[in-house]
Structure 1
Amino acid sequence: MINHSFPVLGQQIPVRVPQTVEDFQEFQRCIIDVANRGERLAYDTETTGLGTFTSGFRIRTAQFGTPDQAWVLQVEKGSDLQRLAAWALRTAPALSMQNRNFDMLATDRHLPGASLEMLAPKTVDTYIYSHLADPRRRDQGGVGNGLKDASAHYVDPSAPDTAAGLYDVFHTIGETKDTGWAAISIDNPKYLSYAGGDVILTSRLLPKVEARVRELGINPSLVPFEHEVGYVCALIERRGMRINRGHTTQLSAELLEESARWAEEAKRYGVANVNSTKQLSEALLGMGEVIPERTAGGAVQVDGKVLKRLADVDKDWEPIESRTPNPLAMAVLRSKRASKWRTSYAEAMLRTADEADRVHPKIGALAARTARMSISDPPFQQLPSGKWEVRHCVVADPGHRMISVDYSSVEPRVMAALSGDERMTAAILRGDDLHNLTAASVYGPDFTPGQRKVAKVVQLGVAYGGGAKTIAAQTGLTLAAAQAAVKGYKRTYPRLARYIRALQGQVIRDGYTLRTPSGRRLVFDRDAAYASFNGEIQSTARDIFAQGLLEIHARGLTPHVLLPVHDEIVADAPDSEAREVAREIGEAMTMSLRGIPLGTDPDVGGASWGSLYMKKASTMIANDSWYAANPDEARAAELARK
């Protein structure tokens, strides 16, 4: 037996690393004793990295712990140790993990006999409890929901940071914080001590965060709700999405060329480096642009928001039509976007795809302050809506068609339900276009398409706490025109405006906290009460989406789902069943909130995810080169046209 220890509250807690048959028998007796007492066992893994499904990924150690001891099995050393770890997981009646989806998926894939379906029902996640108690990261003024931050707050502020504590060791062997996990010796004392420390801290953290959730009076039903949502997301992540490797490789090359082409265009205006804020700001000012935004250091701000305003496009790259687009701003935006898409999507898909050319984006089921989900590796959630180029890399299984089901204007409908605004509610129930209603109120019945776009920005901006100054910056309106538009919006929906004011006041009186309709606790910065309605809308919309995901699972449709992103479910199904599956998913997601219907828009495309976002069928069919290069999508387009 190799014996190490981990310090907690001034005590050295034993960390045991069995080596002999007798050691392994002692480990088994310990697991059986814990099981007989009905106690919960903490579980964690050390792996070669974060790419669970990538080539070369492996579990190096599997560790089990209670508040008073830890056992570390060096499963990298052989299949017998892997089977022993799987046996312990099956034997333990109850488990706890920190960020359980990662460890459950790694275990499901790399430790035979310990499946995701077996682990999930008996595992609680300390991250979920911690997030419910305080959803803020540490840099946002919260406790923080990582193991180190949560343990420092609830367990022992002096306990070592088991991740950062190894970075120095990695550097001594010539590795980085990313590559060191695979390269460090499996017998390194600090590596083994810290592996055991993670389960000791997890075991001690759980009762603390459970008590904190109870103390705050958080809706107790959110605990099983979040665990079930997380489990469904793990099932989806495990399935993954198939990519067309040839097309993805071609796209990477095209994006590299596109980035360079637009960078050359920027050079015409004196910007030799599109990433140089100094060159860019000087060139734009030299072109006569007025840029009031400044950085914290006082320099001219030329971030994406400013450049999009100057290029006359909104956050989704749709033309605003409020000014003449600045060609330099557009060139820089396009060069940077192409470079980002290449790195974050095309290259990321090629790098993270498994042996079957499937990518498995990591789904953070409970991520932001508002509980909204996150998608990473690749970050598909950050793709602008309506853009098909990157999505075209993702393809359905052979003989299947892609499906997209999303909510119809879910956030405006949530706004109406929460505020009880009669005019907005009536418009929704009649099926009116809310942006048309706002535009008519502000500009009269003969409003232009450009004025409708402004009305859309105003509706979302005011509801989310943005004032006339922010709206002017987003739309290119003068401040006076933006102020008039805001007044018109509030005149259109007076009860909504009163609700927002009342909510902000209540949040301040409640110590900058808010309870959502589901009973979730949101916490706001002291200078950000204006964001409370935004937080309530996003959190409520997320919980609606999560409930829809659970209903999809209850109906046995999860095997079709490829990804939950924003308020959209991406799925696939055999060609003959695709429309029926899309309809069933849409029905599962459909519900109401305080009398406001929350309907869906099911859509069936062709063989690629991008086919759901491409041009109208007639335009595509007329393009012979596109038709030849994309026969599956062309066939789907023909079917859609018919």
Structure 2
Amino acid sequence: MKHLHYKIKHQQVRINVVETTDDIREFDRWLGKNPVLGFDTETTGLNWWDWDRGFRLRLAQFGNGSESYVIPVELGEPYRRAAQRALLGAGTLIAHNAIFDQHVIEASLGIPLEVLAPKTICTKITAHLVDPRGVKEKGPGLKLEELTKHYIDPVVAEEVKGSMVLLARKYKTTKHKIWPIVELFDEDFLLYAGMDPILAYRLFHILWPLVPARTKRRGLFSWEHRLNHVTGLIERTGYLLDSDYAEARLAELAAEYERWEQVANRYGVENINSTAQLVDAFLGFGIRLTKKTAKGNLAMDDDVLNGIDHPLAEAVIKARRARKWSATWFQRALDGRDSRGRVHASINSIQARTARMSITGSVPAQTFPAGDGYVRHMFLAEEGHVSVSIDFGNMELRDLAAFSQDPTMLHAFANGLDLHQITADAAGVPRKVGKGANFLTVFGGGWRAMVEQFGVDEETAKRTLSAFADTYPRVGVLAKQLADEARRTGFVYTPTGRRLPVDRGRAYAALNYFIQSGSRDITARALLRLADAGFAPYMRLPIHDEILFSFPRDAAAELTREAARLMEFTIRGVLIPAEGEIGDRSWGSVLELEESKH
């Protein structure tokens, strides 16, 4: 048994590294005394779905606040069994970003998510309930290194959590490539690995008393863990990829890139990504450039290029777009395929200040072009299934109506009236501008945003927003109540008990946070209800106010009606309706329905 020692603010901690099968007996005895365990894994990468194509679990680590054990699972079956016993025997497991480790354990050790989830506490979720702000927002952040720095010890954060950068240099590689090649018993690697369960254990015991009492009373802690499990099940299922379609789009985009690159070449630009070459070319054409970078050089970003009326600018914009679309959407999906031809999104179930979910990885769905099936055709329902989209109608505005109890809004929604047209008529503007005023109020935009997004002049923008305030006066009352609460306490609370920090001087944002977070929780509630009703195997992605499904073709209509019924929700007398659209096999086909709302 190898022993490593480290100090956290003068407190000695010990890392025990199991080296031989004889050492496992001591680990087993220790487990008997520690029913609550900090837990972490070290792997060859993040692609847990490639368990049959080289992905490996290297280490499994377990610890309490002062001691940890590192199990070299990579060495073989006795070590695998030791880790399995620890996981199955523990009363409670505490891990940071726990769903990743659960995926790893299921793929590598065969213990299903359904077994691990009920006993697992995630410190990322816990930290979000205490303070959801990122470091750039002057909050503690949500990464383990950031939280260690804020709540435990900045020295530990720098020396231990930041040590992988130094370790990568030692192996003459990068932080992203170090994981499969670092020697299993490298002491720097073992220190990094062995500290993680200790830090997770300590972090939870620091954070739990800081979770607001209202949050605990409302059951939000367990609710968010259940939601994280459901999104983990969706991640595990993955999305079937139409590889032929993706590869055809890649070929088209490559040809498009080459075509526009040749246009740029004719204007003397050999490298369209060279700012210097582009600046020289445009100055040579007599085009005046004024925007500069932070270093004082002339800028050549999309804003500058879009403002230049010249074929070279068009060529650069379109060439860059082709290259970006290739890499961001189609190549990323193809690179992320598992051996069954499926891709697995990373669904961050609790993200942003308002807890809004985000989707990253092989399916960055929130970046796909709105209302367009071009990218979405790449994702398929199962063989014999069809793609179905069920989304909520006017979720944010109905949530606003429910909590403001504004009579005009309530009347409009109760009687199927067009709220956007009501706002437009009140301001004497087109419906599009009225719709903009409605949503800018919800999303926290002012008259400047209306000018930029809807192409109206300042006077029209101000008149339209003023008309909104006059037409729906109870919205202003709610906004003032929330702003007053934010000024007084620095927070607002949502109906689910979520505490949302509101920065000093930005009390006006309280309404936006309240509605955005509340709307997110409507989607979260829908996911939980659907999972409880047995719909988890059919769900493919949650995207803001929309949930995607793969339903058997012959039962699609019935399943869509039932799923929509489960999703619908009434808040303070206001129905949040859900409506389904049934496409063909590809997700993109839903958007091409004649009466599609997308």
Query: TM-score, structure 1 length as denominator?
Result: 0.85
SS at match of 1:46: strand
Q: After superposing the two structures, state which structure 1 stretch, 397-406 or 337-346, moved more.
A: 337-346
CA RMSD, aligned part only? Answer: 3.1
Q: After superposing the two structures, state which structure 1 stretch, 15-24 or 56-65, moved more.
A: 15-24
How do 1:341-420 and structure 2 match up within 5 A?
A: 341-378=325-362, 379-420=364-405
SS at match of 1:16: strand
Shift of residue 349, structure 1, vs aligned partner: 0.9
Match of 1:590 in 2: 568
SS at match of 2:19: coil
Shift of residue 616, structure 1, vs aligned partner: 3.2
Instruction: Determine what percentage of the aligned residue pairs are the same residue.
Output: 36
Q: 1:442 aligned to 427, 433, 453, which one? A: 427
How do 1:528-567 and structure 2 match up within 5 A?
A: 528-567=506-545
Match of 1:632 in 2: none
Match of 1:609 in 2: 587
* 1:132 and 2:129 correspond: yes
Q: After superposing the two structures, state which structure 1 stretch, 484-493 or 339-348, moved more.
A: 484-493
SS at match of 1:403: strand
Task: Indicate if the aligned counterparts of 2:289 and 2:298 stay in contact, CA closer than 8 A.
Answer: no
Distance 1:481 1:240, change over 3 A: same
Distance 1:371 1:334, change over 3 A: farther
* 1:507 and 2:492 correspond: no
Shift of residue 10, structure 1, vs aligned partner: 1.7
- The CA deviation string for residues 547-604 of structure 1, in whole angstroms up to 9 with x for no partner, is 0100001111111111111111111021111122211211111011111110111111
**Aligned pair count?**
590
How do 1:29-428 and structure 2 match up within 5 A?
A: 29-34=29-34, 39-54=35-50, 55-112=53-110, 114-161=111-158, 162-214=160-212, 219-261=217-259, 334-378=318-362, 379-428=364-413
Task: Indicate if the aligned counterparts of 1:361 and 1:377 stay in contact, CA closer than 8 A.
Answer: yes
Which ranges in structure 1 are unaligned for 5 or more consecutive residues? 312-324, 618-636, 638-642
Task: Indicate if the aligned counterparts of 1:401 and 1:607 stay in contact, CA closer than 8 A.
Answer: yes
Task: Indicate if the aligned counterparts of 2:391 and 2:580 stay in contact, CA closer than 8 A.
Answer: yes
Q: 2:533, 2:411 → 1: CA distance?
A: 32
Q: 2:48, 2:320 → 1: CA distance?
A: 29
Q: Which amino acid aligns with 2:109?
A: L
Task: Indicate if the aligned counterparts of 2:95 and 2:200 stay in contact, CA closer than 8 A.
Answer: yes
Shift of residue 370, structure 1, vs aligned partner: 0.4
Distance 1:360 1:210, change over 3 A: same
Q: 1:439, 1:179 → 2: CA distance?
A: 55
Distance 1:163 1:157, change over 3 A: closer
Task: Indicate if the aligned counterparts of 2:12 and 2:66 stay in contact, CA closer than 8 A.
Answer: no
Q: After superposing the two structures, state which structure 1 stretch, 594-603 or 463-472, moved more.
A: 463-472
Task: Indicate if the aligned counterparts of 2:441 and 2:512 stay in contact, CA closer than 8 A.
Answer: no
Task: Indicate if the aligned counterparts of 1:175 and 1:183 stay in contact, CA closer than 8 A.
Answer: no
Q: 1:119, 1:294 → 2: CA distance?
A: 53
Shift of residue 608, structure 1, vs aligned partner: 0.7
Task: Indicate if the aligned counterparts of 1:151 and 1:157 stay in contact, CA closer than 8 A.
Answer: yes
Q: 1:282, 1:535 → 2: CA distance?
A: 46
Q: Which amino acid aligns with 2:543?
A: V
SS at match of 1:477: coil
Q: After superposing the two structures, state which structure 1 stretch, 368-377 or 333-342, moved more.
A: 333-342
Match of 1:630 in 2: none
Q: 1:266, 1:435 → 2: CA distance?
A: 44
SS at match of 1:87: helix
- The CA deviation string for residues 277-302 of structure 1, in whole angstroms up to 9 with x for no partner, is 79589969x999999x9987899998
Match of 1:518 in 2: 496
Distance 1:407 1:275, change over 3 A: farther
Q: After superposing the two structures, state which structure 1 stretch, 520-529 or 164-173, moved more.
A: 520-529
Which ranges in structure 2 are unaligned for 5 or more consecutive residues? none
Shift of residue 332, structure 1, vs aligned partner: 5.9
Task: Indicate if the aligned counterparts of 2:215 and 2:498 stay in contact, CA closer than 8 A.
Answer: no
- The CA deviation string for residues 241-277 of structure 1, in whole angstroms up to 9 with x for no partner, is 1101111111122223334545667789998876677
- The CA deviation string for residues 13-48 of structure 1, in whole angstroms up to 9 with x for no partner, is 1111112232111111111232xxxx3111100011
Task: Indicate if the aligned counterparts of 1:133 and 1:216 stay in contact, CA closer than 8 A.
Answer: no
Q: After superposing the two structures, state which structure 1 stretch, 360-369 or 142-151, moved more.
A: 142-151
SS at match of 2:74: helix
Distance 1:131 1:195, change over 3 A: same
Shift of residue 134, structure 1, vs aligned partner: 0.1
* 1:469 and 2:448 correspond: yes
Q: 2:339, 2:379 → 1: CA distance?
A: 15
Shift of residue 163, structure 1, vs aligned partner: 3.9
Q: 2:314, 2:420 → 1: CA distance?
A: 27
Task: Indicate if the aligned counterparts of 1:281 and 1:301 stay in contact, CA closer than 8 A.
Answer: no
Distance 1:165 1:239, change over 3 A: same
Q: Which amino acid aligns with 2:513?
A: G
SS at match of 1:159: helix
Task: Indicate if the aligned counterparts of 1:367 and 1:374 stay in contact, CA closer than 8 A.
Answer: yes
Task: Indicate if the aligned counterparts of 1:218 and 1:521 stay in contact, CA closer than 8 A.
Answer: no
Q: Which amino acid aligns with 2:448?
A: K
- The CA deviation string for residues 464-502 of structure 1, in whole angstroms up to 9 with x for no partner, is 332222211222222222222222332332322343244
SS at match of 1:242: strand
Q: 2:594, 2:260 → 1: CA distance?
A: 27
- The CA deviation string for residues 217-259 of structure 1, in whole angstroms up to 9 with x for no partner, is 6545100100000011111111101101111111122223334
Task: Indicate if the aligned counterparts of 1:48 and 1:57 stay in contact, CA closer than 8 A.
Answer: yes
Task: Indicate if the aligned counterparts of 1:271 and 1:280 stay in contact, CA closer than 8 A.
Answer: no
Q: After superposing the two structures, state which structure 1 stretch, 15-24 or 198-207, moved more.
A: 15-24
Task: Indicate if the aligned counterparts of 2:392 and 2:546 stay in contact, CA closer than 8 A.
Answer: yes
Q: 1:287, 1:40 → 2: CA distance?
A: 71
Task: Indicate if the aligned counterparts of 2:442 and 2:515 stay in contact, CA closer than 8 A.
Answer: no
Q: After superposing the two structures, state which structure 1 stretch, 533-542 or 484-493, moved more.
A: 484-493
Q: 2:122, 2:92 → 1: CA distance?
A: 11
Task: Indicate if the aligned counterparts of 1:403 and 1:603 stay in contact, CA closer than 8 A.
Answer: yes
Task: Indicate if the aligned counterparts of 1:281 and 1:302 stay in contact, CA closer than 8 A.
Answer: no
Q: 1:485 aligned to 420, 439, 464, which one? A: 464
- The CA deviation string for residues 87-132 of structure 1, in whole angstroms up to 9 with x for no partner, is 21111121111111000011111112x2211111111111111100
Match of 1:6 in 2: 6
Shift of residue 350, structure 1, vs aligned partner: 0.9
Q: 2:17, 2:198 → 1: CA distance?
A: 14
Distance 1:281 1:124, change over 3 A: farther
SS at match of 1:53: helix
SS at match of 1:466: coil
Distance 1:426 1:280, change over 3 A: farther
Match of 2:475 in 1: 496
SS at match of 1:180: coil
Shift of residue 64, structure 1, vs aligned partner: 0.6
Q: Which amino acid aligns with 1:14?
A: R
Query: TM-score, structure 2 length as denominator?
Result: 0.91
Distance 1:526 1:188, change over 3 A: same
Q: Which amino acid aligns with 2:134?
A: R
